[in-house]
């Protein structure tokens, strides 16, 4: 087959280090009858070893040349190729207990993680390779510099563990950043939930929009409605100091007050 040149507009960096591939597949632990979806299969670095175990695999590939290459390379009863932008895919149509994997394009990683949140009820687990800085934000704890809107939103829905780093030289072309692999497992139905998901999202986004300001200033429009003492949140607190549970307390109280 002709050599495929990585396309910048799709954020393509192809994984070529076989040792790293083996480590990722070992971390995923595929089993024969798993319902697995791979985002951005590229040149099959993960696809091929996954298919050594899986009966079948669904892949989502935006690049039509790579999609055509995959269709030629694998029989349709083993590999189902969805030629689409993963940001527009309805993952609920792909099955239940999904195991989602992929080397995600760094230019759409955060939007894609938020998109996948809507389908978490259909997902068993997710294993992704992303820019290390993104994963460090995903798993960050309160009162640390990496703690952010991304941390709060994803931790409200998933248990996440950073597994290991991947150096730039494991890719072709090498990115300018170190990558990492993360495991994301949706939290159970018994998890704490905000009374209004929309209110929770709005409060978290507003709080981190001016993260260096105290919350009473960043949330100035609502500050008079907040019972800071009753919520156990100091009026001098900044967004990065609140736990996920405290953000839910805050959004629940503002929702009850009719503010959001």
Angle among Cα 137, 203, 155 to the nearest 5 degrees reads 35
The predicted pLDDT at position 231 comes to 97
Beta-bridge partner residues of 210: none
- CA terminus-to-terminus distance, the chain: 56
pLDDT tens readout for residues 64-87: 999 999 999 999 999 999 999 999
- Could you give the angle at which helices 197-209 and 244-256 cross, rounded to 10 degrees? 110
Name residues whose C-beta falls within 8 Å of residue 71's C-beta, 6 or more positions apart in sequence. 79, 81
Say if residues 62 and 85 touch (Cβ distance below 8 Å). Answer: yes
Residue pointed to by tokens 């595929």: 30
CB 165 within 8 A of CB 229: no
Distance (Å, rounded) from C-alpha 151 to C-alpha 182? 13
Arithmetic mean of pLDDT, 203-229 = 93
Quote the tokens at residue 18.
């076989």
The kind and range of the H/E element at 44 are: none
DSSP 88: G
As a whole number of angstroms, the distance between CA 83 and CA 69 comes to: 12
Across the range 126-153, mean pLDDT stands at 97
The widest CA-to-CA distance across the chain, in whole angstroms, is 67
Mean pLDDT of 77-100: 98
What is the predicted pLDDT for the residue at 212?
86
Residue 251 has pLDDT above 70, yes or no: yes
Q: What is the mean pLDDT of the chain?
A: 94
What is the sign of the dihedral through the CA atoms of 250, 253, 257 and 260?
positive
Q: What is the reported pTM? A: 0.92
User: Do 216 and 161 touch, CB atoms closer than 8 A?
Assistant: no
Are 150 and 110 in contact by the 8 Å Cβ rule? The answer is yes
Please say if the pLDDT value at position 244 is more than 70: yes
Interval 15-62: pLDDT, tens: 999 999 999 999 999 999 999 999 999 999 999 999 999 999 999 999
For the cut 70, the answer to whether the pLDDT of residue 4 exceeds it is no
**Count of CB atoms within 10 A of residue 5's CB?**
9
pLDDT at 150: 97
Domains annotated for the chain, with CATH where assigned, are 8-186 (3.40.50.150), 197-256 (1.10.8.100)
Are the C-beta atoms of 59 and 50 separated by less than 8 Å?
Answer: no
């Amino acid at each position: 087959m002709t050599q495929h040149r990585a396309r910048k507009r799709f954020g393509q960096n192809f994984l070529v280090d076989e040792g790293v591939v083996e480590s990722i597949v070992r971390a995923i632990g595929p089993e024969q009858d798993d319902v697995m979806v791979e985002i951005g299969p590229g040149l099959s670095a993960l696809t091929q070893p996954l298919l050594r175990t899986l009966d079948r695999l669904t892949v989502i590939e935006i690049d039509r040349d790579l999609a055509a290459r995959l269709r030629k390379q694998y029989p349709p009863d083993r590999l189902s190729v969805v030629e689409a932008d993963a940001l527009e895919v309805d993952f609920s149509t792909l099955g239940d207990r999904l195991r989602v994997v992929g080397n995600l394009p760094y230019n759409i990683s955060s939007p894609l993680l938020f998109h996948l949140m809507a389908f978490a009820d259909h997902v068993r687990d997710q294993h992704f390779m992303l820019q290390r800085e993104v994963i460090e934000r995903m798993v960050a704890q309160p009162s640390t510099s990496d703690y952010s809107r991304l941390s709060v939103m994803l931790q409200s829905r998933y248990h996440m563990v950073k597994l290991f780093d991947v150096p730039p030289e494991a890719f072709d072309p090498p990115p300018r950043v170190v990558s990492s692999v993360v495991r994301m497992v949706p939290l159970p139905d018994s998890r704490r939930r905000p009374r209004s998901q929309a209110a929770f999202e709005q409060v978290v986004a507003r709080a981190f929009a001016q993260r260096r300001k105290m919350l009473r200033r960043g949330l100035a429009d609502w500050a008079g409605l907040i019972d800071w003492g009753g919520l156990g949140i100091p009026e001098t607190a900044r967004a990065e100091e609140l736990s996920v549970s405290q953000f839910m307390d805050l959004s629940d109280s503002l929702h009850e007050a009719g503010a959001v």
